[in-house]
């Protein structure tokens, strides 16, 4: 594990840059992580991130299909918000571990 300074906060991350402790997550950290992915967060992004965090905390196995059925955004919209790996990028920005369904 490595320590990375994100939004002025020392955060433990794994070798892929995913946060080791999801409880350290904040909107400020999300904004900084999104910048690394060339994504400018909107309220729609935050709705998805909060949904993903809630599902993760509930122990639900995350999939693109599950997020697409959230009622927040469809699968096409998820790809538009988080291009080039929507579940992988959204999970990273949400401060949770990479889902098992992501390679």
Residue whose C-alpha is closest to residue 55's, from 80, 79, 91: 91
Distance, CA of 91 to CA of 48 (rounded, Å): 10
| Catalytic residue flag (residue 34) | no
Query: Is residue 79 within 8 Å of residue 86, measured between CB atoms?
Result: yes
Catalytic-role residue among 45, 97, 102, 103: 102
Angle at 70 between CA 67 and CA 94, to 5 degrees: 50
As to burial, measured by CB atoms within 10 angstroms (0-12 exposed, 13-18 middle, 19+ buried), residue 62 is buried
Which residues are catalytically annotated? 102
């Amino acid at each position: 594990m490595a320590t990375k300074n994100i939004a002025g906060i020392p955060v433990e991350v794994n070798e892929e840059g995913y946060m080791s402790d999801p409880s350290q997550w904040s909107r400020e950290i999300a904004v900084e992580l999104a910048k690394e992915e060339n994504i400018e967060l909107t309220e729609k992004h935050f709705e998805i991130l909060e949904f993903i965090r809630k599902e993760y905390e509930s122990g639900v196995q995350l999939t693109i299909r599950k997020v697409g059925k959230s009622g927040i955004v469809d699968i096409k919209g998820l790809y538009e918000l988080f291009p080039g790996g929507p579940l992988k990028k959204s999970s990273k920005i949400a401060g949770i571990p990479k889902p098992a369904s992501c390679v």
